[in-house]
Amino acid sequence: MSQENKRYEQGMATRRKVLGADYVDARVATTTPFSAPFQTLITEAAWGHVWSRDNWTRRERSMVTIALLAALGHYEEMVMHIKATKNTGATEDDIREALLHVAIYAGVPHANHAMKLASEALTSLKEA
């Protein structure tokens, strides 16, 4: 098996552990010839390389990812990662602390909207 194939397989395994098999299967099912190279890229690079490293725990990666996505205003992805905390071990307290950092280092407007969406996502997790 080539290094690229190993990275893809590792990435898909990590992606499923973090986001859940149902979520990943739904994304894979919508892959088209146009989007396939992008799906391969994120599976190999984000999930197979970065998320699969053992330098940080999934909990730590989760908190950093949530903060970065909120700071950049990528709220849909942020909500997805908040919902994935049920698999990463990041707690409600962790999410709040990450978003407090966003307020100071990236701006209150980003953190304000992120807090609203995070609260809704956490409520939906509790109701599930």
Q: Kindly list the averaged pLDDT for each block of 10 residues, start to end, along the chain of length 128.
A: 85 97 95 96 96 97 98 98 97 98 98 98 93
Sequence-distant (≥ 6) Cβ neighbours of residue 38 within 8 angstroms: none
Is residue 30 located within the same domain as residue 71? no
* The pLDDT of residue 60: 98
* The pLDDT of residue 2: 76
Question: Which structural domain range is residue 122 located in?
Answer: 57-128
**What pTM, to 2 d.p., does this model score?**
0.93
Is residue 76 located within the same domain as residue 103? yes
Task: Give dist(CA 13, CA 43) in Å, integer.
Answer: 9
Q: Report the domain count for the chain.
A: 2
CA 85 to chain centre: 8
Is residue 44 located within the same domain as residue 67? no
What's the full length of the chain, in residues? 128
